[in-house]
């Protein structure tokens, strides 16, 4: 047995030496170092994606520069310039881009194609994109370490951002610009700003769930391409499934066509292995009490004692604090100390809060505790979506999220699917559970933005809009990502140091 182990170890060492002798790019080299350090297990789909990202890294060396901004109006120009002059100056960027592509001015080739990577949760999309992002602007000796192959040093501006944070930034830029130029179109100006700030944009968890965001993204991406910005995005959805079932989706379809024609679409759909689920959830970040089932007060008391230990102090030691949020809002925090805030589920998920609020909380606190988390299904669409958004924000910012729930983690999210069926000219929405523990509620309700309640039952309900169907299916889709991320976030090393 000992001889066999020695032979296997020698074979593995020989394989590493042979592999290193082959030319590799910085992403593959970084990935192989992770494999050699036994931080990850080799995966064929990940190896193939690393090679594609290496090719993109190589092409960044010929990325044309971003032209100087020439069409940003000032207070005086917006008042004194004629509409024709403003139109001509705003068209300059597109004309410059056309001439560069047509006649290859400045000895630069066409900008590299962007990359759209989609596949199931936990297959390594964000992991590989982050390795690629880290390799850009890294000097040769730092990038290569002891590897024999020398990589080209790419020096460009870059930005890596979650789509929630990116859209909040865009909306804030629109708001600020419109304060000074209420009659002007803000999107071309914002595209220029973004291009000047980052020639490489890396998006994590790219998704479109709102018609306003869909229209902004469609125009913004087209303009960013004109400004030679390279975009890399990861998503759980294929391009054809983006904003699926959304209201006025026909207006968004040209964006999907553009994405498919100008980006390299990389599918990891065959990689069904969710590596996050292999994480040992030993970080004491998820607690549940069976008090409601068995009336076990000791279980609930023990859970509360553990939460207090994580909190690290009594809430009465610090006064309530108002956390400032963009657009002039605040979030009230009643129980807090320097590093931790303690909330009830209702405080963060029954209130009209969103990604901007949660980002501000994560900027302020290293640890968030949420108590009384219910089992989540389609009964409360808005509350469940807010909870999923909170998980995404905490994951992106590496904020430790400690949950005290009523059910075990593998029963927290009840999978469901929604579909519309037509009968006698009426559209009916049907919801069926797909697994997990059955909900304790007999009736599922969905609430519109106007506050009107619709019942989902076994017999269906007439009058439910396609927008609500899209929202329901997006939530069901997000449940799988949220459950996977909570497992990874329960690891002992998770969180900001």
pLDDT (0 to 100) of residue 418:
61
Please report the pLDDT score of residue 68 as a whole number.
Answer: 61
For the chain, domains (ranges, CATH) are: 19-65+107-267 (3.40.50.300), 281-497 (no CATH)
Give the model's pLDDT for residue 79: 39
Report DSSP letters for 298-336, one per residue. Answer: HHHHHHHHHHHHHHTS-GGGS--EEEEEGGGEEEEESEE
Dihedral sign of CA atoms 211, 214, 220, 226 in order: negative
The order of strands in the sheet holding 286-288 is: 286-288, 400-405, 367-373, 340-344, 335-336
Exposure of 56 in the CB half-sphere (CA atoms within 13 A): 30
Would you mind telling me the total number of residues written for the chain in this entry?
Answer: 497
In angstroms, the CA 31 to CA 46 distance is 9
What pLDDT does residue 69 have? 54
pLDDT of residue 229: 94
CA atoms within 13 A on the CB side of 324: 3
Per-residue pLDDT of the chain (497 residues; tens, 9 = 90+): 555 445 445 555 544 544 444 557 999 999 999 999 888 889 999 999 999 999 999 999 888 877 665 444 433 333 333 444 444 444 554 555 554 444 444 445 677 899 999 998 888 899 999 999 999 986 655 444 444 455 666 678 999 998 888 988 999 899 999 999 999 999 999 999 999 999 999 998 898 877 788 889 989 998 998 899 999 999 988 999 888 877 788 888 988 999 999 999 999 987 766 666 666 556 678 888 765 545 556 667 788 888 998 898 655 455 789 999 987 889 999 999 989 999 999 999 999 898 889 999 999 999 999 999 998 876 777 888 899 999 999 988 889 999 999 888 888 888 766 665 555 555 555 555 554 333 333 334 444 445 554 444 333 333 445 555 666 667 777 888 888 888 888 887 787 76
DSSP calls for 443-474: SEEEE-TT--EEEE-TT--BT--HHHHHHHHH
Contact 361, 397 (CB under 8 A): no
pTM: 0.69
Q: Which helix (H) or strand (E) holds 257?
A: helix 253-262
CA-based nearest residue to 97, from 70, 67, 71: 67
Instruction: Identify the pLDDT of residue 288.
Output: 85
pLDDT of residue 31: 94
């Amino acid at each position: 047995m000992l001889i066999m182990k020695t032979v296997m170890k020698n074979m593995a060492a020989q394989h590493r030496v042979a592999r290193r002798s082959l030319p590799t790019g910085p992403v593959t080299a970084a990935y192989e170092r992770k494999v050699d350090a036994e931080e990850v297990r080799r995966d064929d789909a990940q190896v193939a994606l690393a090679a594609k990202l290496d090719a993109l890294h190589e092409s960044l060396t010929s990325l044309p520069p971003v032209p100087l901004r020439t069409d940003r109006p000032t207070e005086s120009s917006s008042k004194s310039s004629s509409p024709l002059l403003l139109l001509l100056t705003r068209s300059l960027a597109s004309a410059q881009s056309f001439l560069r592509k047509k006649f290859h001015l400045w000895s630069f080739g066409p900008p590299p194609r962007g990359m759209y990577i989609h596949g199931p949760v936990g297959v390594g999309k964000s992991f590989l994109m982050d390795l690629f992002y880290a390799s850009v602007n890294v000097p040769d000796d730092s990038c290569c370490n002891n590897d024999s192959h020398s990589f080209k040093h790419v020096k460009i501006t870059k930005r890596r951002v979650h789509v929630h944070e990116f859209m909040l930034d865009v909306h804030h830029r629109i708001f600020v610009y419109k304060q000074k130029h209420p009659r002007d179109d803000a999107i071309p100006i914002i595209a220029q700003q973004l291009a000047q700030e980052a020639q490489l944009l890396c998006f994590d968890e790219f998704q479109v769930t709102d018609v306003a965001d869909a229209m902004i993204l469609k125009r913004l991406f087209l303009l960013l391409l004109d400004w030679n910005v390279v975009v890399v995005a990861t998503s759980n959805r294929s391009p054809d499934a983006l904003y699926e079932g959304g209201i006025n989706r026909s207006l968004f379809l040209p964006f999907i066509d553009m994405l498919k024609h100008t980006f390299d679409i990389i599918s990891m759909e065959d990689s069904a292995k969710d590596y996050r689920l292999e994480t040992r959830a030993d970080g004491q970040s998820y607690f549940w009490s069976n008090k409601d089932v068995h009336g076990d007060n000791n279980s609930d008391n023990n859970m509360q004692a553990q939460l207090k230990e994580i909190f690290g102090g009594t809430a009465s030691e610090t006064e309530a604090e108002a956390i400032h949020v963009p657009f002039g809002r605040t979030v009230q925090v009643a129980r807090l100390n320097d590093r931790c805030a303690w909330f009830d589920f209702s405080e963060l998920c029954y209130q009209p809060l969103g990604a901007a609020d949660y980002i501000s909380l994560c900027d302020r606190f290293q640890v968030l505790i949420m108590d009384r988390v219910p089992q989540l299904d389609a009964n409360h669409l808005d509350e469940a979506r807010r909870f999923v958004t909170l998980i995404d924000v905490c994951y992106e910012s590496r904020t430790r999220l400690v949950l005290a729930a009523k059910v075990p983690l593998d029963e927290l999210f009840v999978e469901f699917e929604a579909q519309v069926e037509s009968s006698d000219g009426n559209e009916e929405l049907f919801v069926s559970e797909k697994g997990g523990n059955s909900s304790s509620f007999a009736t599922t309700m969905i609430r519109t933005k106007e506050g009107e309640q619709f019942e989902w039952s076994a017999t269906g309900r007439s009058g439910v809009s396609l927008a609500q169907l899209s929202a329901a299916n997006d939530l069901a889709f997000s449940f799988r990502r949220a459950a996977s991320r909570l497992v990874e976030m329960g690891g002992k090393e998770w969180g900001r140091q």
